[in-house]
Amino acid sequence: VLEIDGVGYRAEMDGKNLKLFVGYSHPVVVEPPAGISFDVETRTRQISIKGYDRQQVGQVAADIRKIRPPEPYHGKGIHYLGEKIRRKAGKAGKGAKK
């Protein structure tokens, strides 16, 4: 299961294809390989990847995550369900100069 975080980021089904809106100027369309199916839950913004070959399911999940991996400053992007994203501090000295 993959999860999408970010303002305006969403996923929807277009027939069998998965259509991702993740901050690019165009939607990214992912076609499922043979034996793989997608299921999108729009309210929780989760993508379920189903198939009988465990290695292929993991590879497809990794390929989808690679489209927009989670970034460390805001945490936006596509990540696995339950994945802990290491966050970085932003510009720590902002406005502290006298």
Percent over 70 (pLDDT), the chain = 93
Range 17-44 average pLDDT: 92
Amino acid at position 28, single letter? V
Q: Residues 47, 53, 59, 62: what is their CA dihedral angle, to the nearest 10 degrees?
A: 30
Note the pLDDT of residue 94: 57
Note the pLDDT of residue 32: 92
Q: Give CA–CA dist 70/65, Å, rounded.
A: 8
